[in-house]
A and B are shown apart, each in its own frame.
Chain A
Amino acid sequence: MRTLLFLLCAFTSSAFGQLAWDNPEQTFNSKPQDESVVAKYRFTNKGNETIKIENVATSCGCTTTALAKKEYAPGESGEIEAKFTFAGRTGRQEKAITVTTSPASQQPTVLRLNVNIEEPIKIQPQFVFWRVGEQPDPKTIHIAVADDSPAKIASVESDNPGVKVQLTELKPGKEYEVQVTPASVSQPGAATLLIRTDYPHDNPQTKYAYVRINK
């Protein structure tokens, strides 16, 4: 039995390493005005020897990390700060941060940073198209305004008079539908739909959707 306990201890220590992480997987819900989130991963050296953090690698160029120092004595705590810049990303985002330590027997630790990025104004789809020669039946674009966004849709215009748009408010200030109808699809064509908001009031934002008639 003693032999068995020895084997268990030997395997366990090499498999799990000796940096204890307080919260290795963190999830955030962003606000419409947020452009990034910062997660702090706190750890403590629970072993009997100094641990060196050799490398902190991220799964995406959008995530940067900062670490005050590399070597941590037994019992010492530290923190890795990870900043995830959204840069146009929306929806559920899952990023990984891989921490490699020495002694070499330590297994890399994978920290997880999950963010639910809410779009202030979600346009789905952002693109509708027809094939030349098909029926010019109307197609629909949905617009949803996030609950905590102060913006409203003021108007939708097409820059091509041959493509008609009709805006309908489904749920006051929150949900809209745009019906897009080309006058003709006998030739290739294109249009940009300008979706004008009323926010910010001093310089209202315009969103875009696109129409193509392709061969």
Chain B
Amino acid sequence: MRALRQALLIFLAALVPAGLTAAFHPRRPAWSEDTLLPGEEKLQTVLAWGSGVLWIDARSSKEYEAEHVPGAILLNLEDWEQLFPRFLDQWHPEEKVVVYCSSTACELSHEVAERLKANGISPVYVLKGGWEAWKNRK
């Protein structure tokens, strides 16, 4: 009985740093698949916006050529210097820019979105779930 009480005390003591980590750690995992990181939007939300969305495919040119969201423009970091002016030719200031890469685990869409924002492009969003979310849409 005493051992159980001590185990409970240790468990409660461990809850304090665990709670702080969950609340404040910069790399804490999302609570669920539905949790959005800053700048992310769900596919349903983007589709509800209707027209006025410029899709950006941040994957490799090979993946883009194989398949992409209809109307999407290729823009990745590897070929930024060639692709950025092409993006500018398509972009209109009143459009919402939505960037996607392969999946939730992919970081490229966030990287491309940040670089666009640094160049004054706004608003820019990242598609939660990326290309996988688009492929699995109902």
User: A215, B78: Cβ atoms under 8 Å?
Assistant: no
Interface class of chain A by DSSP: mixed
User: B60, A61: Cβ atoms under 8 Å?
Assistant: yes
Contact pattern, B 61-80, Cβ under 8 Å of A = 1, otherwise 0: 00000000000000001111
User: A7, B7: Cβ atoms under 8 Å?
Assistant: yes
A95–B110 Cα distance when bound, in Å, is 13
A208–B88 Cα distance when bound, in Å, is 13
Residues in A whose Cβ lies below 8 Å from that of B105? 59
Q: B88-107: which residues lie under 8 A (CB-CB) from chain A?
A: 88-89, 91-93, 105-107
Check A33 for interface membership: any CB of B closer than 8 A.
Answer: no
A60–B7 Cα distance when bound, in Å, is 41
Given A89-B77, A129-B120, A212-B88, check contact A8 B10 (CB 8 Å). yes
Check A186 for interface membership: any CB of B closer than 8 A.
Answer: no
Task: Tell which of A38-46, A74-82, A120-128 binds the partner.
Answer: A120-128
User: B119, A126: Cβ atoms under 8 Å?
Assistant: yes
Residues in A whose Cβ lies below 8 Å from that of B6? 1, 4
Number of A-B residue pairs, CB cutoff 8 Å, is 58
Check B108 for interface membership: any CB of A closer than 8 A.
Answer: yes
Check B111 for interface membership: any CB of A closer than 8 A.
Answer: yes
User: A210, B3: Cβ atoms under 8 Å?
Assistant: no
User: B85, A214: Cβ atoms under 8 Å?
Assistant: no
Residues in A whose Cβ lies below 8 Å from that of B119? 125-127
Residues in A whose Cβ lies below 8 Å from that of B84? 126-127, 210
User: A87, B78: Cβ atoms under 8 Å?
Assistant: yes
Residues in A whose Cβ lies below 8 Å from that of B118? 124-125
Contact pattern, A 159-199, Cβ under 8 Å of B = 1, otherwise 0: 00000000000000000000000000000001010000000
A175–B91 Cα distance when bound, in Å, is 30
Check A70 for interface membership: any CB of B closer than 8 A.
Answer: no
Q: How far is the CB of A195 from chain B (nearest CB, A)?
A: 12
A3–B119 Cα distance when bound, in Å, is 61
| B111 to chain A: closest residue by CB | A89
A215–B95 Cα distance when bound, in Å, is 12
Check B81 for interface membership: any CB of A closer than 8 A.
Answer: yes
Q: How far is the CB of B94 from chain A (nearest CB, A)?
A: 9
Residues in B whose Cβ lies below 8 Å from that of A7? 3, 7
Residues in A whose Cβ lies below 8 Å from that of B85? 192, 208, 210
Most chain B beta carbons < 10 A, residue from A61, A95, A129, A190: A61
User: A214, B108: Cβ atoms under 8 Å?
Assistant: no
Q: When the two chains form the complex, which single residue of A60, A87, A124 contacts B107, counting CB atoms closer than 8 Å?
A: A60
A168–B6 Cα distance when bound, in Å, is 71
Closest 10 CB pairs of A and B: A3-B3, A88-B77, A87-B78, A127-B119, A4-B3, A125-B119, A4-B6, A88-B80, A126-B119, A125-B120
- Chain A residues proximal to chain B, CB less than 8 Å: 1-4, 7-8, 59-61, 87-89, 95, 124-129, 131, 190, 192, 208, 210, 212, 214-215
> Given A1-B6, A95-B107, 8 other A-B contacts at CB below 8 A?
A1-B2, A4-B3, A4-B6, A59-B107, A61-B108, A124-B118, A131-B93, A212-B91
